[in-house]
Amino acid sequence: MLLIGFLYQLGVVPLKPALKRIFKIMRDVKVETLMCIFDEIPSRPQLESFFAQLKMRNCKTALISSGLPTIVVEKLASIIGADYAFGIEVGVKDNALTGEIWGDAIEPNGKFKVLSRILEAEGLKLEDCVVVADDRNNGSIFLPGMQKIGYNPDFVLRVKADKVVTGKLSGILPVIFGKPKKRSLPSKNDLIREAIHASGFFIPVLAGFLGVYPVALMICVVSVFYFLSELSRMNRKNLPVISAITRNAVSPTERYEFAGAPLYFAMGIFLTLLLFPAPVNGAAIAIFTLGDSTASLFGGLISKKPLPFNKGKTVEGSFAGFFFAFLAGTFFVSPVLALIGAAVAMAIESLPLPINDNILIPLGTGLALLFLV
């Protein structure tokens, strides 16, 4: 299932075939087992409050899922107070899944058909809608005239959305009702996460003392332990030290799911370290780690003016990242090369791309510097 999901995220496997294979694997799973699994998933904080506030403002709410069976979506809707619930229709025989699935939600433009039925029932128009979504599968309901909000969205919806909200679910409400979002200081988790990110600056320094291959091996070992730690955390168990660091560093959205960003971060540094010679690898890693972390911190602290082509990033954040990336690069290469490397890194960081920027930024920066050294 993880492999199929990964291939879907990469865009290699379309949604419907991916779901058919997943539910085929789930054949003979009892419906009671499915609902018990749902009951064990912790609810995000403020979820019920979020929907209650929408109801207080006389909003009608609908959950439309292309990944969950309707019976699960309906139970979630009853818990949080949503008015409509639509999901995948699943075959059931003798109270067990047959592996068959069907329904509008998994068809091309299927979510639009569902939304159209809701609008007709309520006597509403597209202009009355606010759609909140996270991935490209929702493109059929990201239409002109309505308010489109990407919540921790993928690269496709970052372009199509009118506004992008990251972090807490409550951040969506000010966008819906046109209230300016107040600036806030970075949380403790933000500071710890970005400090860990910035500490990658010392990886090439360490490689200079110990050698590239021993440090690369260390990265692999730590990554394996982190992967096991995250699997344990998903099952409400903890590995010493690593789980504690993760709990204090993950973002609110990662707290209830597998936090994969550190693995991409380690992979980006690992590949850059091995593929490029010194001092190119050191400069690329330093530019990436310090530039990306400061762009995230200052982007949320200084301003909320989004980039026009990537509404999850800010203009001021990109400038701050560029400045600190340049400073980091000068420790390894000449100021001119550091300037070019920082420009390349921030250009990649600002673009909505399908591949994780923790991999693209150091590799792209290293490649640019390699041609110039």
pLDDT, tens digit, 9 for 90 and up, residues 301-346: 666 677 777 777 778 788 888 999 999 999 999 999 999 999 999 8
Choosing from 126, 152, 176, the residue where a domain stops is 176
Q: Do 116 and 259 fall into the same domain?
A: no
Neighbours of 10 (CB within 10 A): 10
Q: Do 103 and 218 fall into the same domain?
A: no
* pLDDT of the residue at 252: 67
Q: Do 203 and 142 fall into the same domain?
A: no
Q: Range with the lowest mean pLDDT among 57-66, 144-153, 182-191, 291-300?
A: 182-191
Rounded CA separation 304/183 (Å): 8
> What are 2-57's pLDDT values in tens digits?
788 878 877 788 888 999 999 999 999 999 999 998 888 777 667 888 899 999 99
Q: Do 151 and 214 fall into the same domain?
A: no
Q: What tokens appear for 49 in the block? A: 């409050």
Q: Do 361 and 213 fall into the same domain?
A: yes
- Total domains in the chain come to 2
- 216 and 270 Cβ atoms separated by less than 8 Å: yes
pLDDT over 70 percentage in the chain: 95
| Residue burial 293-309, b: 16+ Cβ < 10 Å; e: rest | bbbbbbbbbeebebbee
- 181 and 193 Cβ atoms separated by less than 8 Å: no
Residue in this structure with the two tokens 């009853």, named with its chain if needed: 78
For all residues of the chain together, what is the average pLDDT? Answer: 87
Choosing from 145, 176, 207, the residue where a domain stops is 176
| Strand, coil or helix: 294 | helix
What is the dihedral sign for C-alpha 348, 352, 355, 359?
positive
Residue 104 inside a domain? The answer is yes
Q: Do 218 and 132 fall into the same domain?
A: no
**The pTM is what?**
0.79
Q: Do 144 and 243 fall into the same domain?
A: no
H or E segment and range at residue 336: helix 335-350
Q: Do 207 and 227 fall into the same domain?
A: yes
* pLDDT of the residue at 301: 67
Residue 147 inside a domain? The answer is yes
- Residue-number span of the structural domain to which 82 is assigned: 9-176
> What are 228-282's pLDDT values in tens digits?
888 887 777 777 777 777 777 777 667 777 788 889 999 999 999 999 999 999 9
> 248-251: long-range contacts (C-beta < 8 A, 24 or more apart)?
248/188, 248/189, 248/192, 249/189, 249/192, 249/193, 249/196, 250/189, 250/193, 251/166, 251/167, 251/189, 251/190, 251/193
Choosing from 126, 143, 176, the residue where a domain stops is 176
Rounded CA separation 321/294 (Å): 5
In terms of average pLDDT, the best of 269-283, 288-302, 353-367 is 269-283
Residue 1 inside a domain? The answer is no
